[in-house]
Amino acid sequence: MLADLETLVTCESYSTDHAAVARSARVVAEQGSRLLGASPRTLVNGGVSHVQWTFGTPRVLLLGHHDTVWPIGSLKTHPWSVRQGIARGPGVFDMKAGLVQMFHALASLPTLDGVCVLVTGDEETGSGTSRALIEDLARRCAATFVLEPSAPGGALKTSRKGVSLYDITVRGRAAHSGLEPDNGVNAATELAHQILALQHIADAVTARTGPGTTVTPTLMSAGTTANTVPARADLSVDVRVPGADAQEAVDRLVRSLQPHVPDAELKIAGGPNRPPLDPAASAELFALATELAARHGLGPLQQAAVGGASDGNYTAGAGCPTLDGLGAVGDGAHADHEHIVTAAMPARARLLAHLVGAVQ
């Protein structure tokens, strides 16, 4: 398993580098073919490479992704290593170890009939080219198991917040900031008003639907030179919500934002990206996992609700029971300390194999 993990981690697969993602897809296909005894379909949508295996009529979907947030060259600063039971490297936790565990789990089964495996190449950027495929497969299956990394301590993820993403553009009017600032319309000032308004939106939705909603300004830019009134300002906004009612409320309020600065113009793009993964979508599968873990000496299992989203949000939103966080045990997704606990890999693979066997 560690040899296979090294192969995946040392093939860098930064999401926005489609050539690198294509190389990674070939490596994933080769590894899966060796362990599953069958060649996959490689699907290229919008330049992004996804890998799919289907055995018979699918009843269970195993879902993962091979792209990472790590730019090409990250191996130089975050090299692959295994020391004292800890493996490190870009994407090792999120989520290449999960792919290795998945392949080895499936390789241990007497039959793969009824299994569909989908490994996408754009999860980290919102699954724009794979969402329709994911949802279509999920609607045809009785269960989805997501090989994203576990929550702290190895807990399975039985609830995820929904995600909405917005881009706010302010159009103003340029002017010399020393000679005639009053002739300009300051887009940066208008953007400041909008940032404050976004905080009021979070407070209003929390008061109406309960805690858990966050509205976070992230990327921001304005202006062209230090002595010019900014004619344009841009803001990206990341929204996380605990339920569909909160997601709808935020969307209505964001789209109702109005300019404060006279003559400023406001454009709002984006909207809901991933629906929430409701605990009800995971309840029966977590109960099954708990029973199987106890029976085979792999427990006790813990569950967690998390703020991060995954493609499991899509499968649950499509009506397919979904259990997430079945991948690696470790920590540091997207961070310098990203790592996995190697000793946990075989047990996680065995748990997945028992789950798949029970649903097939």
pLDDT in tens, 21-66: 999 999 999 999 999 999 999 999 999 999 999 999 999 999 999 9
Residue where one domain finishes, among candidates 274, 295, 323 = 274
101 and 30 assigned to the same domain? yes
pLDDT band per the 50, 70, 90 thresholds, residue 132: very high
Q: How far is CA 94 from the centre of its chain?
A: 9
For residue 244, what are the domain limits? 162-274
For the chain, state the CA radius of gyration: 23
pLDDT band per the 50, 70, 90 thresholds, residue 264: very high
148 and 198 assigned to the same domain? no
Task: Read off the CATH number of the domain in which 220 is found.
Answer: 3.30.70.360
Q: What's the mean pLDDT in 5-25?
A: 98
CB 151 within 8 A of CB 227: no
134 and 175 assigned to the same domain? no
Residue 349, CA distances (Å) to 15, 87, 276 in order: 26, 17, 27
State phi, psi for 40 to the nearest 5 degrees: -90, 175
Produce one character per residue of 102-119: b if its CB has 16 or more CB atoms within 10 Å, e if not: bbbbbeebeebebbbbbb
203 and 344 assigned to the same domain? no
Tokens 């407070």 locate to: 203
DSSP-assigned states of every residue in 6-30 = HHHHTS--BTT-HHHHHHHHHHHHH
pLDDT in tens, 188-238: 999 999 999 999 999 999 999 999 999 999 999 999 999 999 999 999 999
- How many other C-beta atoms can be found within 10 angstroms of the C-beta atom of residue 170? 27
122 and 229 assigned to the same domain? no
DSSP-assigned states of every residue in 180-240 = -GGGSB-HHHHHHHHHHHHHHHHHHHHHHH-S--EEEEEEEEE-SSTTB--SEEEEEEEEE
336 and 230 assigned to the same domain? no
220 and 322 assigned to the same domain? no
Average pLDDT, the chain: 97
Q: What's the mean pLDDT in 77-102?
A: 98
| DSSP conformational letter for 68 | B
Q: What's the mean pLDDT in 248-275?
A: 97
Can you state the angle between helices 2-9 and 97-107, rounded to 10 degrees?
Answer: 140
pLDDT in tens, 266-317: 999 999 999 999 999 999 999 999 999 999 999 899 999 999 999 999 999 9
254 and 220 assigned to the same domain? yes
106 and 45 assigned to the same domain? yes
Angle, CA of 303, 353 and 53, to the nearest 5°? 110
* Structure tokens given for 74: 């990250």
Sequence letter at residue 45: N
311 and 237 assigned to the same domain? no
Number of domains making up the chain:
2
Tokens 């009017």 locate to: 173
State phi, psi for 235 to the nearest 5 degrees: -140, 135
State phi, psi for 266 to the nearest 5 degrees: -120, 130
Residue where one domain finishes, among candidates 274, 309, 328 = 274
Whole-prediction pTM value?
Answer: 0.91
Residue 229, CA distances (Å) to 168, 189, 190 in order: 19, 10, 12
Q: What percent of the chain has pLDDT over 70?
A: 100
- Secondary structure element (H or E) that encloses residue 100, with its range: helix 97-107
Residue where one domain finishes, among candidates 228, 247, 274 = 274
| Beta-strand relationship, 265-274 and 162-171 | antiparallel
User: Quick one: pLDDT at residue 299?
Assistant: 82
* Structure tokens given for 167: 């881009």
Residue 151, CA distances (Å) to 158, 193, 243 in order: 10, 37, 20
Q: Count Cβ atoms within 10 A of the Cβ of residue 246 and give its class: 0-12 exposed, 13-18 middle, 19 or more buried.
A: buried
Task: Read off the CATH number of the domain in which 27 is found.
Answer: 3.40.630.10
48 and 128 assigned to the same domain? yes
139 and 29 assigned to the same domain? yes
CB 91 within 8 A of CB 78: no
User: Quick one: pLDDT at residue 138?
Assistant: 98
pLDDT band per the 50, 70, 90 thresholds, residue 112: very high
Can you state the angle between helices 345-359 and 283-295, rounded to 10 degrees?
Answer: 120
* Structure tokens given for 94: 């999120």
* Structure tokens given for 151: 């929550």
Produce one character per residue of 286-325: b if its CB has 16 or more CB atoms within 10 Å, e if not: bebbbebbeeeebeebbbbbbebbbbbbbbbbbebbbbbb
